[in-house]
Amino acid sequence: MKRAVVMAAAWVGLVSASPSPQVDEALILSDALPPKLQDFGLLVDGKTPAPGVVPYHLNTPLFSDYSMKFRFMHLPKGKKAKATGDGLLDFPVGTVLIKSFGYPADMRSPEKDLRILETRLLIHRASGWVALPYVWNADGTEATLKRAGQRMDVSWTHLDGQKRTISYAVPNANQCKGCHVSGMAMTPIGPKVRNLDDGHQLQALAHAGLLSGKTQAVRPMPVWDKPESGTVALRARAYLDANCGHCHNKAGPADTSGLWLDWDQPADTNLGIGKRPTAAGRGSVGLDFAIKPGDPAASYLVARMASTEPGIAMPELSRSMTHEEGVALVSQWIREMP
Amino acid sequence: MQAAVIALMATAHVQAGTFRVEPGDGAQERLQAALIEAKPGDIVDIGAGRFDLTDGLSLDVNGVTVRGAGPAATILSFKGQKGAGEGLLVTSDDVVLRDFAVEDSRGDGIKSKGADRIVYRNVRVEWTGGPKETNGAYGLYPVESTDVLIDGAVVKGASDAGIYVGQSKNIIVRNSTAMYNVAGIEIENSYSADVHSNLAMHNTGGILVFDLPNLPQQGGHSIRVFSNRVEKNDTPNFAPKGNIVASVPTGTGVMVMANRDVHVFNNILGENGTTNVMIVAYQTAFNDKNYDPSARDIVVRDNQHGRAGWAPAFPGGAELAAALGGNFPSVLWDGVGGTAANVHLKDPVLTVSLNLPAQGAAISLAQPAAYAPPSTSPAKDLPTILMPAAMEAATK
């Protein structure tokens, strides 16, 4: 009954919001799970924000099968996010973090013929963060809630001029939590001060009245594929933090593995150096150590990053292809390790 | 299923509801949707038949019962799995899983993590192609949980352990069957477990109690292994190299490594080619100052022994057997820790200590000799593990 009323309200909101959307803050704060993304009024289309919704970027992002990602945040009127340490921004209730995923027809001209596949929302409600995955229709006019996830075939021409086709997986709501969890609570992953600090982004957010507190990280993360932004070791650690550290940390879903790959983990056994497999099964791929210094080929951390086989491949979600450039970076780091 | 959801919405979830899911088109999405939409107290009722699934399933709602029409009737097949590390993942408390089967998952069969008071009852996990290195690691895999009850499960073909309980507290594994796995049943880095009335047969090793370093929970202790049949564990080790169970010799009955207060009693043990009972320290080098690698305060008593030790399947095993007159002992301790380890091996069969001088010492330093229990008192009997009443009720 309650849900029906909310849905009716959302429908009225949608009609009145067209054609220039207006963010529906009441809907954001409600318990509703609106069936259409448009109900929120957050986006004009999959990659264009509505007024009051601001784009942001990360120094080193998660690899998701070479998809292009568009990130936005919406803060409730008059409220600010707060930066204290180098970690996650402290977002007020009413915040929405928005991420759209898409592929161009040809990666060599990414601005052309871009097809947005899905938009994921992470909404900070009074009860905590809620993850809602929305899947766009083929002509990009409407996105529908798919809490149980979905697979779809996607093709594009890759940077090497070759055609690629994958079975793209939109995660289900539980899989969202598979990564977005710390302890028992759902949490954002990306917008950490250390990964947002590119020298001006935090200042710009503060200037726009969206951020209070620090505008600089003590130890900012470099850009994983920009050598001028940091050493191989720092860029590899940034890559591991963004791609593995959200699960592989002391409070994350992979804590029991004893392999902790977040930015602040000291370079010891728990970082993988000389660490034997725990409960890895065939994920050990016949190797004794996560990281064998000097020998990436004998390090199962690398082998699991390179694999595309379920049960071996890491990360378990978001990837059906090998991120060759990421594997190369981590391999180089291990090769140069004393 | 949709009708069930609508019915639930109409009653605003005042009462527990049932989500009925049948096999057929869209089974992946329908089943996963039910596991997401369910509310505490609800039942997800999976019909008889075969469900061909492409992705792992997951449940993150407290107090949900997932039940099928029986482990031979309701089959969740992951033969065509494209993603996720396991067949079914549970991350919520007070969940009951019963009366269904998971087949051919690419990773683990059913994993529950941080899922307190979980009941696994009458479930089957099987890799249908027999023992293979490419099979998933664990059949049942509860980890980091308090109150774990596994009752009447059947697991076959796991390339690590059929039933594996890791980094957990207060555990019962009973009335279950583990066959053709590398390890039949394994309790690892866990506190307070009763493993009883199980059948562990045709594995590489039957029942393992292990502790490993560099993990959030370690110092495993207070484990009873009793009234089990641990026989004919004769499947050649097919674990992928690098894993700890890859070091388990083919033909091991019960193996205890680096734990304290482990009691092995009233079991029927036999036809295990390496040995019926093996008590050892963690064997490789480690750098964890909080880790105790030795097995200590161990009691082995009142077990019935059949044949054992005619084919010790580890490097140096044949030489050791020759030194002992041709046969390997039925009960073996590596001797690490000496008298202070307080190891009481009291079965009236050939019982040998290797008298290794220290953890990690080479097997060539062994000075095998018949072992007599020390004059120290054996560790006190351990209390019976009890589960909350609601968990026991859920097994009925």
Residue B378: what pLDDT? 85
Q: Is the pLDDT of residue B231 over 70?
A: yes
Considering the domain boundaries, does residue B33 fall inside one?
Answer: no
* d(CA B212, nearest CA chain A) in Å: 8
Residue B82 lies in a domain: no
Which of B66, B82, B88, B282 best tests the A interface by mutation, with the highest count of A CBs <10 A? B82
* Residue A218 lies inside a defined structural domain of this protein: no
Quick check: is B59 in a domain?
A: no
pLDDT of residue B12: 36
List pLDDT tens digits, range B320-345: 899 888 889 999 999 999 999 999 99
* Number of other residues whose CB lies within 10 A of the CB of residue A213: 15
In a domain, A104, yes or no: yes
Per CB-CB distance under 8 Å, the chain B contacts of A167 are: 82
Assign A10 a pLDDT band (cuts: 50, 70, 90).
very low
What is the Cα–Cα distance from B92 to A52, expressed in whole angstroms? 36
Residues of B in contact with A277 (CB under 8 A): 242-244
Note the pLDDT of residue B15. 55
Average pLDDT of chain A is 92
- What is the spatial distance between Cα A100 and Cα A68, in angstroms, rounded to a whole number? 8
Question: Is B286 inside a domain boundary?
Answer: yes
Q: How many domains does chain A have?
A: 2
Query: Residue B313 and residue B311: Cα distance in Å, rounded?
Result: 6
Whether A192 and A234 map to the same domain: the answer is no
Q: What share of chain B has pLDDT > 90, as a percent?
A: 85
Look at residue A220 and tell me if it is in a domain. no
Across the range B298-312, mean pLDDT stands at: 97
Q: Which of residues 179-238 of A touch B (CB under 8 A)?
A: 184
Residue A181 confidence (pLDDT): 85
Distance between CA atoms of B99 and B76, rounded to whole angstroms? 11
> Is there a contact between B144 and A167 if contact means CB atoms under 8 Å apart?
no
Q: How far apart are CA B130 and CA A130, in angstroms?
A: 42
Instruction: Look up tokens 């957990």; give the residue.
Output: B168
Query: Is residue B392 assigned to a domain?
Result: no
Q: Find, in chain B, the residue whose alpha carbon is nearest to that of A183.
A: B114
Does residue A16 have a pLDDT over 80?
no
H-state helical runs in A162-216: 173-179, 193-196, 201-207
Same domain, A111 and A69: yes
Residues A29, A163 within the same domain:
yes
> Do residue A151 and residue B82 have CB atoms under 8 angstroms apart?
yes
Distance from CA of B321 to the nearest CA of A (A): 29
Within an 8 Å CB–CB cutoff, is residue B244 touching chain A? Answer: yes
Q: Are residues A150 and A176 in the same domain?
A: yes
Range of B340's domain?
127-382
Domain end call among A162, A191, A213: A213
Interface mutation vs chain B, best among A2, A168, A249, A278, most B CBs within 10 Å: A278
* Residue A30 near residue A6 (C-beta atoms within 8 A): yes
> What confidence tens digit (pLDDT) does each residue in B355-389 have?
999 999 988 899 999 998 888 888 899 999 999 99
- Note the pLDDT tens digit of each residue in A149-205: 988 999 999 999 999 999 999 999 888 888 898 877 899 999 999 999 999 999 999
Record: contact B215-A258, CB cut-off 8 A: yes
Is the minimum CB–CB distance between A82 and chain B shorter than 8 Å? Answer: no
Q: What is the pLDDT of residue A190?
A: 94
pLDDT band at A5 (very low <50, low <70, confident <90, very high): very low
| d(CA A169, nearest CA chain B) in Å | 8
For chain A positions 281-310, those within 8 Å of chain B (CB to CB) are: 281-289, 300, 309-310
Same domain, A206 and A243: no
Contact A184 B114 (CB under 8 A): yes
Residue A281 has a pLDDT of 80
The whole-number average pLDDT for the span B274-289 is: 95
The answer to whether B123 faces chain A, any CB pair under 8 Å, is no
CB A308 within 8 A of CB A300: no
Task: Give percent of chain A above pLDDT 90.
Answer: 81
Residues in A closer than 8 angstroms to B10, CB to CB, are 1
- The reply to whether A169 and A122 lie within a common domain is yes
Check whether residue A25 and residue A76 sit in a common domain.
Answer: yes
What is the C-alpha separation between B206 and A134, in angstroms, rounded? 47
Give B121-156 pLDDT, tens digit per residue: 999 999 999 999 999 999 999 999 999 999 999 999
Q: How many domains does chain B have?
A: 1
B360 touches chain A (CB under 8 A): no
What is the distance between the alpha carbons of residues B396 and B393, in angstroms, rounded to a whole number?
Answer: 6
- Considering only the beta carbons, identify the residue of A148, A269, A280 that sits closest to B29: A148
What residue type is assigned to position A178 of the chain? Answer: G
Question: Chain A residues with CB inside 8 Å of B144's CB?
Answer: 255-256
Query: Are residues A167 and A231 both part of a single domain?
Result: no
For residue A83, the enclosing domain spans 2-213
Q: What number is the average pLDDT over the span B177-194? A: 98
Give the separation between CA A66 and CA A164, rounded to whole angstroms: 10
* Residue ending a domain, choose from A150, A181, A213: A213
A169 touches chain B (CB under 8 A): yes
Instruction: Please report the pLDDT score of residue A8 as a whole number.
Output: 43
Whether residue A222 is contained in a domain is answered as no
Q: Do A284 and A326 belong to one domain?
A: yes
In the block, which residue shows the tokens 């992705």? B55
Mind telling me how many Å the CA of B105 is from chain A's nearest CA?
A: 8
Res. A283 pLDDT band, cuts 50 70 90: confident
- At A336, is the pLDDT very low, low, confident or very high (cuts 50, 70, 90)? very high
For residues A244-266, average pLDDT: 93
pLDDT exceeds 90 at position A64: yes
Q: How far is B285 from chain A (nearest CA, A)?
A: 10
Q: How far is CA A253 from CA A176, A195, A221, A249, A315, in A?
A: 12, 21, 23, 8, 12
Q: Would an 8 Å CB–CB cutoff place B167 in contact with chain A? A: yes
End-of-domain residue from the set A168, A185, A213: A213
Residue B362 lies in a domain: yes
Chain A environment of B111 (Cβ under 8 Å) = none
Task: List B21's β-bridge partners, or say none.
Answer: B46
Chain A partners within 8 Å of B61 (Cβ)? none
Where is average pLDDT lowest: A15-24, B184-193, B248-257? A15-24
Same domain? For A209 and A231 the reply is: no
Cβ separation B241–A287 shorter than 8 A: yes
Contact: B159, A316; criterion CB under 8 Å: no
**In angstroms, rounded to a whole number, what is the distance separating the alpha carbons of residues B245 and B208?**
9
Note the pLDDT of residue A173: 87
* Inside any domain, residue A100: yes
Minimal Cβ distance to A270: which of B29, B212, B214: B214
Longest dimension (CA), chain B: 77
User: pLDDT at residue B215 above 70?
Assistant: yes
Quick one: A202 and A269 in the same domain? no
Q: Do A208 and A111 lie in a common domain?
A: yes
**Cβ-defined contacts of B173-180 (< 8 Å, 24+):** B173/B198, B174/B150, B174/B198, B175/B151, B176/B150, B176/B151, B176/B152, B177/B153, B177/B201, B178/B139, B178/B154, B178/B203, B178/B206, B179/B154, B179/B155, B179/B203, B180/B130, B180/B131, B180/B156, B180/B235
Contacting B residues, span 17-36, partner chain A, CB-CB under 8 Å: 28-30, 32-33, 35-36
Rounded CA separation B226/B300 (Å)? 10
Q: CA B340, B344, B345, B346: dihedral to nearest 10 degrees?
A: 150
ipTM of the complex: 0.82
C-alpha B341: how far from its chain's center? 25
- High-pLDDT (> 70) share of chain A, %: 94
**Count of other CB atoms within 10 angstroms of residue B376:** 13
Chain B residues closer than 8 Å to A165 by CB? none
Band (pLDDT 50/70/90 cuts) for residue A6 is very low
Give one DSSP letter per residue of A214-278, joined into a string. -SS-SS----TT-GGGS-HHHHHHHHHHHHTTTTSSTTSTTGGGT---STT--SSGGGTBTPPPS
Sorting pLDDT into bands at 50, 70 and 90, what band is B13?
very low
Residues of A in contact with B91 (CB under 8 A): 174, 177, 253
- In the predicted model, is pLDDT for residue A19 greater than 70? no
Q: What is the mean pLDDT of chain B?
A: 93
Selected for mutation to probe chain A from B2, B60, B283 (highest A CB count within 10 Å) is B60
